[in-house]
């Protein structure tokens, strides 16, 4: 039996704009996504026989075809027309329902591990084609780094990553439904949008203050309207000298960039008084 492991990094949205809705109902996006060193660990074993077994450290998550990682294995085997016995183990560290692509990155890791097990049968483009059938964030999770994501998530343009930045990530003690947020977005008047070109330049220049001036997440208005706690977390980060604080994805996780170690630590301690999932990262 062959075993392969992969780190499955989460992501944050440095900006998120919705540029239209396709006839099939999918939203077209223009968003800048960045991998972060908060990760799950995915191990895949391939043996003789048939069937898929999925084990997850978080017992609240499904371990059958309701799980995107399980479906990733099914789709990979279908694509290469193989039958094998697949064992998948996932050690969760990314909070569930955080807007950090926890499920998508696990699926991406399964695809990459299986591809290694089957001697790189597919190239990255083909893996991303499978990924897109699973979820809009999966292609980015396969590529990683920092990218402008367009279309419905499948058109990726690489951008140099940020360097040497202190990042605080805080998830409120609840989750939100991405589907519900997008549905509500369709009935919401959006008053502000990001300047995506300026966002990209700010990231290229490693300039968080310029990023603050140009960025926005159009879904934040929707999710914050339902859960004002998101704004409270942002205010706490700014009161502790964050250069930028905003929501990632459809929420509810908030992140903040800080310049000084003492400021980010003090802020983390303050947030931990009421929140379970608070993490200091460096990118």
- Residues serving a catalytic function are 11, 137
DSSP class of residue 190 equals: -
Tokens representing residue 6 in the block? 């992969």
Dist. CA 42–CA 281, nearest whole Å: 20
Dist. CA 177–CA 226, nearest whole Å: 12
Overall size of the chain counted in residues = 283
In the block, which residue shows the tokens 């499904």? 62
Which has the closest alpha carbon to 272: 171, 165, 167?
171
∠ CA 42-112-13 to the nearest 5 degrees?
80
Determine the angle formed by the axes of helices 124-134 and 102-117, rounding to 10 degrees: 140
Cβ–Cβ < 8 Å for 44, 1:
no
Determine the angle formed by the axes of helices 124-134 and 68-80, rounding to 10 degrees: 130
């Amino acid at each position: 039996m062959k075993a392969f492991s992969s780190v499955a990094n989460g992501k944050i949205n440095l900006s998120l704009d919705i540029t239209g809705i396709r006839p099939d109902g999918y939203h077209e996006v223009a968003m800048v996504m960045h991998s972060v060193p908060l990760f799950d660990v995915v191990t895949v074993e391939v043996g003789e026989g048939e069937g898929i077994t999925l084990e997850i450290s978080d017992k609240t998550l499904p371990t059958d075809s309701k799980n995107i990682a399980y479906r990733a294995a099914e789709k990979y085997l279908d694509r290469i027309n193989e039958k094998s016995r697949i064992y998948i183990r996932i050690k969760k560290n990314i909070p569930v329902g955080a807007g950090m692509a926890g499920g998508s990155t696990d699926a991406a890791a399964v695809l990459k591990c299986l591809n290694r097990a089957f001697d790189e049968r597919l190239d990255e483009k083909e893996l991303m084609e499978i990924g897109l059938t699973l979820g809009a964030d999966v292609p980015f999770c396969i590529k990683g780094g920092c990218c402008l994501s367009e279309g419905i998530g499948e058109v990726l343009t690489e951008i140099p990553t940020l360097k040497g930045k202190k990042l605080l990530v805080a998830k409120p003690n609840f989750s939100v439904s991405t589907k519900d947020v997008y549905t509500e977005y369709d009935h919401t008047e959006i008053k502000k949008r990001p300047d995506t070109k300026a966002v990209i330049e700010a990231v290229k220049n490693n300039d968080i203050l310029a990023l603050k001036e140009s960025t926005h997440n159009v879904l934040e208005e929707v999710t914050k309207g339902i859960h004002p706690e998101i704004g409270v977390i942002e205010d706490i980060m700014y009161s502790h000298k964050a250069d930028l604080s905003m929501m990632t994805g459809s929420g509810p996780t908030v992140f903040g960039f800080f310049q000084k170690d003492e400021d980010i630590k003090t802020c983390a301690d303050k947030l931990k008084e009421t929140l379970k999932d608070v993490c200091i990262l460096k990118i």
